Structure 1
Amino acid sequence: MSNNRISQDFMKDAAISVVKTTAEIIGSYIPLIHSVTTLVTEIYQLYENAECNKEICSIMMERAKTAEFAMNMMKDKKENEKYYRQKEYYVAFKKFEICLNKIKHFTDKVSKLKDYKKFFNATKVKNEYEKLTAEYDTCMRDLHFTIAIANERAREDDSKKVDETLTHIENYLEKFTHVFEDKFDELAQEISILKTQQNENPSEIRVERINSNELMEPTVHKDTDIRGLKNNPIVKRIYKGIEVACKPIKNSDEYIHRELAIIGKLFLSPNILKFYGISNVDNNEVMVFEWAERASLKDLYDKYDIAWSRKIQIILDICRGISFLRSVNIFHHDIRCENILITKALEPKLANFKYARPTSATTTDLSKQLNEVIRWMAPEQIKRYSNGKKAGYTFNCEMFSFGMLIWEFCYERIPYQKLGLKEIIDHVTNGKRERLSLGKFDKKIQEKFIKIIDRMWQHEPHKRITLSKLFIRLEKLHTTYPANALGLLENGALELTEKDKLIEKDKLPEFNDEFVINDDFSKPLLSLDEGITLHKKKDHAGAWKCFNDNSELGSPLAKYWKGYYLYEGYYVQKDINLANMLFKEAADGFFIYL
């Protein structure tokens, strides 16, 4: 064999070796790149669902997104391949992943009212923010992601936004939480314990039992002492000198008792209907609540026009009730005027906790109650339900429903009352809403409410106003326009635009054949995360099928895992050559398309 031939063979072998080495080196970054991409997505999700400090969350999200963009720009350029061969660069990339993890946890904490109150104050947040941004900038320089490093002007602007946001949230917490002092954490812990008992030892949960002899009939009877359905009425009784409502329990099982146990813990808030316990009236099991003389807020606006200054007061008090629920980690899940009860003094009380749950619990499935709740439901929920999928629920959903309640109360009629179910679905999911128009009186107040409602029912969840900002706006509005009189006017006195006095009750059609909630939907293809979980459980057969199926769809990460299985001989016969080819394809896929 000639020297020339030997030289060519040597060069060919060396080239193949270099390709393999390059593929293996670049392939080692694939899990890190995937982790970074996942973290950025999670940070964005936290920003979307932020209850407070949304501006701070936005800054952190933008930093993460910019870094991801810089990472993708960097890997697309062939001349940058030399960096990926350096051990120091790999270490810097790992530090970047750790930094993003810190940003994620910081964003998570500052975005939730309960965590902010528990772990932070303005000084701590600012210090942690500055520490994280400095660490982030160092990572960007080490990775040569120069596009992701903010200039001095941008840093100053961001710092100013952080200061303004922290001043705002501290103001909100001072105005709202001082009433309850340090009882929030204790109450949240009690609710958490109850939730654990629900899952582990439901028989241990006990609800206060009231002796039926303690429930006395009123000495003076009124027609309104009995309300609701004729065969299942709510009746008024006197308990320890207090007027109470005795509401029949339709289903006296452990579920009812567990939920009532949680409601019984919410007595601290004057804006939540107080629950006293269960008892027996006329041989029927009943729940005993405080009596709301004027029935529901819907009943009130059906009977009267409510002065605009009084509307401000009532909506502010409802906001206080929702703020309290959020502080103890409870979603109401069904915010509308019919579920707000009104005392004789026009004090609103959040009621009907049928669908309520702790925020950490499984989302309540309302697919069978769409006829009842869809008019107040957020578009992202409607879309999931209409596609036959389980609808997740966030605080942004609750804020949307609250916005619909405010619209309902301002215009004194239920939303979309002339539309059927299918029409509502199309209307709301396409970004359309009810009309925002001005009535005859107090137009300045109406204009303020129009702006508030518009901020609350934004189509994109992260664009909706936060609870803390809403509270401050309503309080300022109340200070400017205090409710000095009861404010109950003759029906029609306000001449509200488009108020239809002939429609007393909403009637929705049943589901038709064109709209079906499909609970039997099954995925024909496992996700990569599910495949990785199977791998960790040593279900190599199931994991291999998942990785193989996804790799055929072109997923770079799936190709990497498939190559790994072939390289190690998990479930399938070893094939190192095919494994190296897949590593190379995975690397090319990540560095071109990710």
Structure 2
Amino acid sequence: MKDLNFTLAVSNEEQRRYDNECLMDDVAEMKEFLQNIDDGFINTNQMMNTVIEELRLMRISLESGKGPVTKPKQIAQSDLTDPLIADDSDFRGSNKKIVRKSYKTTINVACIPFVLNEMDQEGYDRKDKQLVILSKLSECTNILKFYGLANLDGLNHLVVEWAQYGTLRETYEAYDIPWTRKLHIATDICRAITFLHSAEIYHHDLRCENVMLTDHLEPKLANFEYARGASGTTSSIGDLMRIVHWLAPEKMIDKNTRYTAKCEIFSFGMLLWELTFEVSPYQGWDMDKVQAHVLQGKREKITFGPAANERESDIQKCLEYVIREAWKQKPQCRISLLNLFNTLERLQTKYKNVVEQELGLLPQKTLDLDGTGTPIFSDADAEGEGMELPECENFTLDFEIDTMITLEEGINAHKNRDYEKAWKCFEYHALNGSACAKHWMGYYLWGGRSVEKNQEEAARLFKEAADKGIHDAQLRYAFTLQKSLGKKKERDEFIKYLTLAADGGNSTAQFNLGDAYTNGKLNIPKDEKKGLHYLKLSALQSHPNAVKLLGKMKVDFNNEEST
């Protein structure tokens, strides 16, 4: 891992003074904003402001070279084991030296070779401080988690969260990402940037290649090679060609110009364009051509293919708006991070309960992203031209035409109590990889509905669907563990999947988790604030038990001031 480079070359004082004025406005606005949002995206019980203040003090210590020497967590090699089930993707990177391991038997992590020069004590201490900052940044769930350093067979390794799908760029090159999933990804990346800015840190290199994607399709901002403190000195980026496609015009004019929040917003706008159309901006252009184009105020085209429904149309309009507002030529005219996040988050909230099959990844070329897509069959095929059958008296087709109903039709069959038809549909789509269908198969097997009861197989299917982000399956899988809650491993697993379901909007999970936190059940430390949070979310969805419990507690869940 390269230096985080929080401090580098000094910019001129006049530019610094202007930038600091802009910075103070942005930071003040962001801190006020962060005080008013839920602190649920922090993975500890610490308040967000405490984490931010710790980061600020760490950064000051790093920039000044003063303060106590801090060390990143050291992980014993015995805590890192080979995964139970090996996979071809367990070895990554150009030289296959990035390896997947299991940390404490349950957590998938990536072990990345990392060189520390112990002969350079000053540089050694500096890297230690940088890694401690990186560890603290991991408090945000949308930043790739850094667990610590491990010495594996004599070589130092960074131990970080495993991202099953690799980078966001690798993902869109292998799949099509549905519009609603794009919205969720965009909002969560913006959440991570918001967290960084609140701690007065800029990422400095925003593009899809620096966002990792977990098996739950959660984006994790990564690669802090060029990151630095907002009040630190500016950086002179060596490999400009690698990032110029996302670079703000003011940085193109003078690479020593101070990097500001407005530069970051421009780059995020380019990242959103890349995510939207699933291609690198200005693909194939050399650096001179990109610079000439951008400095003339020109940008990439924004032209969408046909929207399938009103939701997709809303998302396309939202993405176009924030992209255009983010990449304006004059920095002072660009949208603030606060307004950008609010715009994305409001639409994400509106469509938070979209069914799974509209959130999962799709085969490449499924979507006509920019209106240039062509149908699989030509118009001539549709008219039957060029498709004459051979002149054979007893000609027959040697394969069956698949006429299985869609998953949505299968769900409708279930609602109409045509269970046999529904089961056949779920079984077919599950065999073809649909996580939603696997959840439905598990539901039928668990209760023995139109099929022989098999709760062991049902639990397996629930977990597979749960691990693909199906919130109802997360709840059902958690409940399959109820008889084993006396064991710590099963209890931790139960709480993990119940929390995933609750955070995904499942009202039953929200009630049970809220009840557990409020009353200290399942050996969970009592946390009334967190408990009330989940109970209110459940009650707002009219869950009768949540409404009843809050009534007994004399809590008005409709009153925002009581939250």
* TM-score normalized with structure 1 length: 0.54
Q: Distance in 1 between matches of 2:41 and 2:116?
A: 36
Change (3 A) 1:260 1:45: closer
Q: Does structure 1 residue 245 correspond to structure 2 residue 110? A: yes
Alpha carbons 2:27, 2:200 under 8 Å: kept: no
CA distance in 1, matches of 2:230, 2:315: 34
The residue identity in structure 2 corresponding to 1:348 is: P
1:299: which partner in 2? 170
Contact 2:63–2:232 (8 Å) recurs in 1: no
Structure 1: state its 5+ residue gaps: 1-39, 51-107, 118-168, 502-594
2:138 counterpart of 1:273:
no
- The answer for the alignment partner of 2:283 in structure 1 is 417
Residue in structure 1 matched with residue 322 of structure 2 by the alignment: 452
Tell me which amino acid in the other structure corresponds to 1:391: T
Distance of 1:174 and 1:305 partners within structure 2:
35
Aligned to 2:364: 491
**2:97 aligns with one of 208, 225, 233:** 233
Count how many residue pairs are aligned between Structure 1 and Structure 2: 345
Structure with higher RCO (Cα < 8 A, 6+ apart) = 1
What letter corresponds to residue 342 of structure 2 in structure 1? I
Amino acid corresponding to residue 238 of structure 1 in structure 2: S
- 1:205 is matched with 70
Q: In 1, Cα distance between the equivalents of 2:289 and 2:193?
A: 30
What pairs with 1:509-520 in structure 2 (closer than 5 Å)?
none
**Aligned pair in 2 of structure 1 residues 480, 288: CA closer, same or farther (>3 Å)?**
same
Distance 1:198 1:206 in 2: 16
Q: 1:304: how far off?
A: 0.6
Higher alpha-carbon Rg? 1
Q: Deviations over 1:81-117 (max 9, x none)?
A: xxxxxxxxxxxxxxxxxxxxxxxxxxx4x54237854
Distance change (3 Å), C-alpha of 1:191 and 1:405: same
What pairs with 1:461-480 in structure 2 (closer than 5 Å)? 461-480=331-350
Check whether the contact 1:210–1:279 (CA below 8 A) recurs between aligned residues: yes
- For the residues of structure 2 that align with 1:414 and 1:500, how far apart are their CA atoms? 18
Letter in 2 for 1:365: S
8 Å CA contact 2:30–2:194 kept in 1: the answer is: no
CA contact (8 A) 1:197 1:205 kept: no
Task: Name the SS of the counterpart of 1:229 in structure 2.
Answer: coil
Which residue, out of 22, 36, 49, partners 1:174? 36
Specify whether residues 497 and 278 from structure 1 end up closer, same or farther in structure 2 by C-alpha distance, changes over 3 A only: same
CA distance in 2, matches of 1:41, 1:203: 32
Q: Does 1:372 align with 2:239?
A: no
Structure 1 match to 2:212: 341
1:87-126 map, 5 Å: 108=24, 111-113=26-28, 117=32
Displacement after TM superposition at 1:443 (Å): 3.5
1:439-493 deviation digits (Å, cap 9, x = unpaired): 2333442122111100000000011111111111111211333343233111011
CA shift, 1:190, in A, is 4.3
Residues 1:497 and 1:250: Cα distance change in structure 2 (over 3 Å): farther
TM-aligned CA distance change 1:259 to 1:364, over 3 Å: farther
The one-letter code of the counterpart of 1:496 is: L
Relative to structure 1, the CA distance from residue 201 to residue 41 in structure 2 (aligned partners, 3 Å threshold; closer, same or farther) is closer
Closer, same or farther: CA 178–237 of 1 in aligned 2, 3 Å: closer
> Which residue identity is paired with 2:98?
I
What are the superposed Cα offsets for residues 371-410 of structure 1, whole Å, 9 maximum, x if unpaired?
A: 111111110011102xxxx221000011111111000000
2:271 pairs with one of 400, 405, 423: 405
Asked if 1 retains the 8 angstrom alpha-carbon contact of 2:16 and 2:258, the reply is no
Q: 1:339 to 1:378 in 2, by over 3 A?
A: same
Task: Name whichever structure is richer in helix by fraction.
Answer: 1
User: 1:420 is aligned with what amino acid?
Assistant: D
For residue 183 of structure 1, the aligned residue among 29, 48, 51 is 48
The verdict on how the C-alpha distance between 1:453 and 1:216 changes in structure 2, with shifts beyond 3 A counting, is: same
Report the 3-state secondary structure (helix = DSSP H, G, I; strand = E; otherwise coil) of the residue aligned with 2:157: strand
Letter in 1 for 2:321: K
Candidates 413, 436, 443, aligned match of 2:302 = 436
Within 5 Å, give how 1:305-316 maps onto structure 2.
305-316=176-187
Q: Is the 8 A contact 1:266 1:272 kept in 2?
A: yes
Give, in whole Å, the separation in 1 of the partners of 2:15 and 2:114: 44
Distance 2:131 2:235 in 1: 16
How big is the shift at 1:303? 0.7
Pair 1:284 & 2:145 matched: no
Contact 2:318–2:343 (CA<8 Å) still a contact in 1?
Answer: no
- Cα distance in structure 1, aligned partners of 2:98 and 2:41: 32
Gapped runs of 5+ residues in structure 2? Answer: 1-13, 118-122, 375-563
Equivalent residues of 2:19, 2:258 under 8 A apart:
no
List per-residue Cα deviations over 1:326-356 (Å, max 9, x = no partner).
1112111111101110110001111111111
Change in 2 beyond 3 A, CA 1:424/1:251: farther
Q: Matched residues in 2 for 1:495 and 1:433: separation?
A: 21
Question: Residues 535-584 of structure 1, C-alpha deviation per residue, up to 9 Å, x if partnerless?
Answer: xxxxxxxxxxxxxxxxxxxxxxxxxxxxxxxxxxxxxxxxxxxxxxxxxx
Looking at structure 2, the residues matched to 473 and 194 of structure 1 have their Cα atoms a distance apart, in angstroms, of 30
Indicate how the Cα distance of structure 1 residues 176 and 190 shifts in structure 2: closer, same or farther if over 3 A, else same: same
Identify which of 193, 202, 207 aligns with 1:331. Answer: 202
How far is 1:186 from its partner?
4.6
Distance in 2 between residues matched to 1:473 and 1:487, nearest whole Å? 23
1:92 corresponding residue in structure 2: none
RMSD across aligned positions (CA): 2.8
For 2:36, what is the secondary structure of its paired residue? helix
Task: For 2:275 and 2:369, locate their aligned partners in 1 and report how far apart those are by CA, in whole Å.
Answer: 11
Matched position secondary structure for 1:349: strand
| TM-score (normalised: structure 2) | 0.57
Q: C-alpha displacement at 1:177, in angstroms?
A: 4.9
5 Å matches for 1:35-114? Answer: 49=22, 108=24, 111-113=26-28
Q: For 1:359 and 1:42, how far apart are their aligned partners in 2? A: 11
Distance 2:166 2:271 in 1: 16
TM superposition shift of 1:411: 0.3
Question: Percent of pairs identical after alignment?
Answer: 36
What letter corresponds to residue 175 of structure 2 in structure 1? Y
The AA in structure 1 aligned to 2:156 is E
Is 2:69–2:129's contact at 8 Å kept on the other side of the alignment?
A: no
In structure 2, relative to structure 1, the CA distance for the partners of 1:484 and 1:111 (3 Å cut) is: same
**Separation in 2 of the partners of 1:299 and 1:208?**
30
5 Å-filtered alignment, 1:118-137, equals none
The amino acid across from 1:219 in the alignment is L
